Amino acid sequence: MDSDISWELYRSYLSVLQNGSLSGAARSIGVAQPTVGRHIAALEKRLGLKLFTRSQLGLLPTEAALALKPYAESMRASAAAMKRAAESQGHGIKGTVRITASEVMGAEVLPPIIARLQRQWPELKVELVLSNRVQDLLRREADIAVRMTPPKQDSLIARRVGDVELGLHAHQAYLQDRGTPCNLADLAEHALIGFDEETPFLRGASKALPQWRRDSFTLRSDSDLAQLAMIRAGAGIGVCQVALAKRDPNVVRVLAKQFVFKLETWLTMHEDLRHSPRCKVAFNALLEGLQHHVS
């Protein structure tokens, strides 16, 4: 096995893995299709492994290709982190900071915080990753993460922001049409909005609210933003952040005394970024903004 393999070969491999074809991979990374083909052939030769097989559906990854995926993704994340660090060198607050958060936090809560941050530091660039998957800060998939669970990795700076309160909500138009539930048992007569696949949140919520299980949901989506949109559209009763619901006077909280659920919220960053000016100002701005949100 050749121990000195160019990163561009791994980049092409990851792109083919993601897109399922040479043409799709080429468009994704901005190179010619024959170049991607040569990269894959060269990587297979140097690794001594077959990475893809041809089929009517395109290029299918072999077991070896799937086994190598997390290591190549780690390389990609490290390369991107190195680029962000290089951009920030010199005087002043500049460069790129990569922030990850859940869908709802990233779309509904963080934008005004980031807007204030950018106004204060116009040379600072922000990459915002919306994902309910926990991005790995140790692998440098992101610089700063907003997490709804306590961090378990030791090499992280972690600040507890507070608790985000969740409650059952519905649009006034829905309640006028279907009536307002008076107790938890009444939920069985209503259109409930919830998850399609079981999640840690769903398991935790079902302990506090036994009715909150998949087979009780009339409307199912694994997207928190889709659930929030359905609540706002008057499609049914669902769980959302109390602070977000208060923004819309037509969204009403129901059964407030019977159901209260809180998500512990943390802001985390790799300890190696402690002295990075770009990450420090972003971390402090996010902490202040999030503390205001949860209060």
Q: Are residues 75 and 104 in the same domain?
A: no
Q: Are residues 67 and 96 in the same domain?
A: no
Domain range holding 13? 7-82
Per the DSSP assignment, residues forming a β-bridge with 166 are: 241, 261
Q: Are residues 150 and 64 in the same domain?
A: no
Is residue 241 in some structural domain?
A: yes
What pLDDT, on a 0 to 100 scale, did the predictor assign at position 134?
A: 61
Beta strands in the chain (DSSP E): 52-55, 58-61, 95-101, 124-130, 144-147, 156-171, 192-194, 219-220, 237-241, 251-254, 261-270
What pLDDT, on a 0 to 100 scale, did the predictor assign at position 173?
A: 97
Instruction: Tell me the pLDDT tens digit for each residue of 199-215.
Output: 766 777 777 777 788 88
Q: How many domains are there within the chain?
A: 2
User: What pTM does this model have?
Assistant: 0.71
Is 11 a residue whose pLDDT tops 70? Answer: yes
What pLDDT, on a 0 to 100 scale, did the predictor assign at position 254?
A: 97
Q: Are residues 280 and 214 in the same domain?
A: yes
Mean residue pLDDT of the chain comes to 87
Q: What distance lies between CA 16 and its chain's CA centroid?
A: 23
Q: Are residues 92 and 71 in the same domain?
A: no
Is residue 1 in some structural domain?
A: no
Q: Are residues 21 and 113 in the same domain?
A: no
